[in-house]
């Protein structure tokens, strides 16, 4: 496993891009709008996503500010087989808060687990087709 990105919610995407790119010297790596969900995801960082962790700036179109406490989103980890990984996490006592499956408004296969303090960790399936673990349905419910 490796850290992929950290997501934070931003109230003004242009202001945030100025800070991360112009002030801190990162570059915009990619951006995608999700009209059905009314949000934009923009990824910024110093290297490529293939070789370094980046920051995901999520701009929800109908929200212009956040309290610092709810601005945090999640830590993301890349996994080769999301179903096997979730089964192993559950076997070890981890709490799966969102069973593996395609993300809403997209096709990327994701899952979420929660740490003991309630912080979310997103698991993201690599592009290879994962092996489905049939017992996961019982674990996730």
Catalytic positions, written as ranges: 122
Spatial neighbors of 81 by CB under 8 A, at least 6 apart, are: 125, 130, 131
Q: Which long-range contacts (CB under 8 A, 24 or more apart) does 39-48 make?
A: 40/13, 42/13, 42/16, 42/17, 43/5, 44/17, 44/20, 45/5
C-alpha distances out from residue 11 to 1, 58, 113, Å: 31, 9, 26
SS3 47: coil
The order of strands in the sheet holding 109-114 is 27-34, 39-45, 54-60, 2-10, 72-79, 120-125, 109-114, 95-102
């Amino acid at each position: 496993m490796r850290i992929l990105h950290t997501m934070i919610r931003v109230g003004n995407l242009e202001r945030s891009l100025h800070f991360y790119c112009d002030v801190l010297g990162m570059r915009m790596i990619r951006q995608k709008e999700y009209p059905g969900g009314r949000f934009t995801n923009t990824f910024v960082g110093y290297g490529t996503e293939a070789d370094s962790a980046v920051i995901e700036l999520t701009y929800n179109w109908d929200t212009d500010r956040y309290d610092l406490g709810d601005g945090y989103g999640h830590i993301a980890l890349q996994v080769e087989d999301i179903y096997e990984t979730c089964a192993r996490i559950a076997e070890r006592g981890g709490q799966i808060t969102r069973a593996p499956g395609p993300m809403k408004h997209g096709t990327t296969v994701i899952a979420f687990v929660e740490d003991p303090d309630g912080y979310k960790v997103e698991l993201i399936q690599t592009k290879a087709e994962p092996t489905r673990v049939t017992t996961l349905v019982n674990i996730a419910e």
